[in-house]
Structure 1
Amino acid sequence: MSRKVLITGGTGLIGTRLAEMLIDSGFEVALLSREPGKSSHYRSFRWDPAAGTIDEAAVPYADYIINLAGSSVSDGKWTDERKREIMTSRLGGLALLHRELSTHGHHVRAFISASAIGVYGDAGDTLVTEETPPGLPTHDFLADVAHQWELAAEPIAALGIRTVIPRIGIVLSSEGGALPQMARPVKLGAGAALGSGKQYMSWVHLDDLCRLFMAMLEDESWRGTYNAVAPNPVTNQEFTEVLAQVLHRPLLLPKVPAFGLKLALGEMSDIVLASQRVSAQKVLAHGFRFEYPTLQEALESFYVTE
């Protein structure tokens, strides 16, 4: 039985590692990319969601599609133009995939479409589950983006293709994402909690996230929405303390005040100030086991050399 996986957004942090792990597990991997020449390791097909164009051989190639495409929410200030790009880069890709999957010339067995725990909005210290309704999009851009992203995947599920939507937490990797940015001041002895420090961070080790994706591909009992987070969310204060301990650095500074972050980042400060305490119970109940269930284990995998 062929095991060909087509990944959109495959050159980003998650896609790069996921492609490696899929190859190691005997899958074939191809990327759907706006600039196919960029990654020479894999076969790649060209698409341009903004223009509504896609290589007609792309979807017929795939047994499975993993959709990670979307402009990064943490690159640059949220101008109106930037916000439009963040939203349209997600919705355009899904509309294009739906159009291709609506035709009969494909054999796609499962579709995994990324979402984010931002869908819950700022939930304080309430433990949120997949049943928790989305945050109020009127006040919360990230909640709105994630909600629209999920809604745009529904027409694909309606075609009868098994669809899984992982709501991804803060992905920990030493190669990119939030962790190197958080570790930098701590390494310099200038680490500090952000805002009140009481806001919850629901995180996941990059390798656990990729293993979860692979479980979702192969096992047909996964369908619908799952929180893709480790089982032990921590407050920002705890995160900073554990990081300092693993890096053997003191924490000397008082907290970085919320108003300072809002001045520096504008609305984008929501990324670090919103509190999301997200339950991993549904994934655990499905039988998935995390290699890095605690923050200490996750951080030590990056920063402690044997």
Structure 2
Amino acid sequence: MTDTSPRKVLITGGTGMIGTRLAEMLIDSGFEVALLSREPARSNHYHSFRWDVDAGTIDEAAIPYADYIVSLAGASVADGKWTDERKREIMTSRLGGLALLARELAKPGHHVQAVISASAVGIYGDAGDKLVTEETPPALPTQDFLADVSHQWELAAAPIAALGIRTVIPRIGVVLSTDGGALPQIARPVKLGAGAALGSGRQYMSWIHLDDLCRLFIAMLEDPAWHGTYNAVAPYPATNQAFTEVLAEVLHRPLILPKVPAFGLKLAMGEMSEIVLASQNVSAKKVLAQGFTFEYPELRGALGALYGAE
């Protein structure tokens, strides 16, 4: 007799922009979804389990519930200046959650088949024009906070893989969505007719439409052939200048201002200016070779789908 009950996915960081959309798309694909969060919300759609990463506590029913786990938990790198305290929070929120999952997954009595553990293309640092692949070594963490965070984040998933559980690490680029992340912040000045390229404008932005990212996650869950690291980016990265120009066209706004100088951004954003000034020309070849098809491979189509009605 075959088991026809829905496969169950447990998401950490499930109330964020990616987790929210992923949960919707999983349900549409016939999965059952539960969220692991500090403040479980009452929802008709999802089960909710409580955990407290700082205290090292987790609902004992959470891990036994799951067939798959998607780990997205981590404080946003784009909210507020990087004070020492903020940087600590960005790092520990990622590492603590994975340590807690690894501890629980080492116990018997669960049936977790695969874990997707998020990472970011920040691991490559400021790589200039060079096309980087999954084989490219991480940037030197001493000089680059985002590279350090991404590298430590990936190392924290290694104990899960060491348990023999299939572990997939998507290195996520700039996620395009009107519901959060970088895009609304980039689009705001453009909509006001005050858009401009940032810094030299020559730095590469490796991006992915939110729906493509969620479809990629679902493919990673469903097909056991996926394991190890993959760049979760669309096949055609754009320079910051090109990105800004296409966005202005899609929004039907002129670009009249000169570039926003790098020193001005550093003054306004501090070290966080790394997010917009670092250049990452990231290859999607490995994901394509695995048979994944992007719905939005090109920037104009992705931005048109998001802002088409405006």
TM range (shorter): over 0.9
SS of the counterpart of 1:70? coil
| 1:26 aligns to 2:30 (yes or no) | yes
Rounded Cα–Cα distance in structure 1 between residues aligned with 2:69 and 2:156: 15
Rounded Cα–Cα distance in structure 2 between residues aligned with 1:38 and 1:68: 20
Residue matched to 2:45: 41
Worse-matched range after superposition: 33-42 or 171-180: 33-42
Among 124, 128, 134, the alignment partner of 2:128 is 124
SS of the counterpart of 2:141? coil
Residue matched to 1:96: 100
Rounded Cα–Cα distance in structure 2 between residues aligned with 1:182 and 1:38: 34
Q: How does 1:3-152 map to 2 (within 5 A)?
A: 3-37=7-41, 41-152=45-156
SS of the counterpart of 1:65? strand
Amino acid at match of 1:95: A
Contact 1:19–1:29, Cα closer than 8 Å, also in 2: yes
Residue matched to 2:201: 197
Residue matched to 2:255: 251
Amino acid at match of 2:130: T
Question: What TM-score do the two structures reach when normalised by structure 1?
Answer: 0.99
| 1:221 aligns to 2:229 (yes or no) | no
Residue matched to 1:174: 178
Q: Deviations over 1:278-297 (max 9, x none)?
A: 00000000000000000000
Identity %, equivalent residues = 82
Amino acid at match of 1:255: K
Rounded Cα–Cα distance in structure 1 between residues aligned with 2:44 and 2:75: 22
Contact 2:42–2:48, Cα closer than 8 Å, also in 1: no
Aligned CA RMSD, in angstroms, stands at 1.0
Q: Deviations over 1:5-63 (max 9, x none)?
A: 00000000000000000000100000000000265631100001111000000000000
- CA gap of 1:38–1:258, structure 2 versus 1, over 3 A, is farther
Q: Deviations over 1:218-247 (max 9, x none)?
A: 000000000000000000000000000111
Among 188, 193, 208, the alignment partner of 2:192 is 188
Q: Structure 2: state its 5+ residue gaps.
A: none
Amino acid at match of 1:196: S
Rounded Cα–Cα distance in structure 2 between residues aligned with 1:195 and 1:38: 44
